[in-house]
Amino acid sequence: MAKYDLLNIDTLPPDELDNDKIKDETKDLLEELEELQNLLYAEGKHSLLVILQGMDASGKDGVVRKVFGAVNPQGIHITSFKAPTKEELSHDFLWRIHKNVPEKGMIQIFNRSHYEDVLITRVMDWCDDKTAEKRFRAINDFEKLLQNNNTHVLKFYLHISEEEQKKRFQERLTDPKKHWKYNPDDLESAKHWSAYRKYYNEVFEKSEIIWNIIPADKNWYKEYLIAKKVVSTLKNLNMKYPKLEK
């Protein structure tokens, strides 16, 4: 399996990129996505699962709003996975995940996901390596099951730098429009950067479906890359509108 090292992967776009040009291309991609989502819904043969992972303040909510905000709300669901409830903890760790996967014709977004069960659980020493290995195998089998049922899985890690995270945390303290985002637990989580990097690298290496590592310090570039990947994935399905029955 490929080796990953987030420390050696840039969080910024290439210097030569034209900001305005990329934004125009993103606008065109989002218009195309709106039509493709309508086609996905009408044909009803495929579904799309989009998994968003990243450190706090990496912009997961922004991706949901900016990239998927224009599609028909009837054809999309968003699930944000928080700490498991008492009921969820009484089942296997994939129980709450499986009941939220998309039906045919739908786009489902996971804002955080089943990967938290091999990430934060290990950072906080709630899960040992032996248990994590079993969970990796279960996750790969689970995602293979989804693929076999025509659910196409796209996984995005929003790769933000520590410096940009600090800047965004500061904005949550100083900008009245962002006060609601402030959570003191985020500051505690930020103390564990090295551990998170270690376990994210392992997630990338052990995943059978490749992860898209998205430079996320600049929102315009992050949104462009994700929109481009989603559009190309849906276009490759060669979907057709159903014809009238004779």
Where are the alpha helices (H) located in the chain, listed in sequence order? 19-43, 60-68, 86-89, 95-98, 120-123, 129-148, 162-174, 184-189, 193-206, 219-235
Largest CA distance in the chain: 64
- Alpha-carbon distance of 11 to 38, in angstroms, equals 33
Contacts of 15 (CB under 8 A, 6+ apart): none
How does pLDDT run across 108-138, given as a tens digit for each residue?
999 999 999 999 999 999 999 999 999 999 9
CATH 3.30.465.10 fits 6-10+35-235, yes or no: no
Q: Name residue 211's beta-bridge partners.
A: 155
How does pLDDT run across 219-236, given as a tens digit for each residue?
999 999 999 999 999 999
Please report, rounded to a whole number, the percentage of residues in the chain having pLDDT higher than 70.
Answer: 99
Model confidence band, residue 1 (pLDDT cutoffs 50, 70, 90): low
**Phi then psi for 154, rounded to 5 degrees?**
-115, 125
Residue 41 has pLDDT above 60, yes or no: yes
Model confidence band, residue 19 (pLDDT cutoffs 50, 70, 90): very high
How does pLDDT run across 153-162, given as a tens digit for each residue?
999 999 999 9
Residue 246 has pLDDT above 90, yes or no: no
How does pLDDT run across 169-178, given as a tens digit for each residue?
998 889 888 8
Sign of CA dihedral 138, 142, 147, 153: negative
How does pLDDT run across 61-103, given as a tens digit for each residue?
999 999 999 899 999 999 999 999 999 999 999 999 999 999 9
**Phi then psi for 44, rounded to 5 degrees?**
65, 30
Question: Torsion-angle region of residue 44: left (phi > 0), alpha (psi -120 to 50) or beta?
Answer: left
How does pLDDT run across 75-85, given as a tens digit for each residue?
999 999 999 99
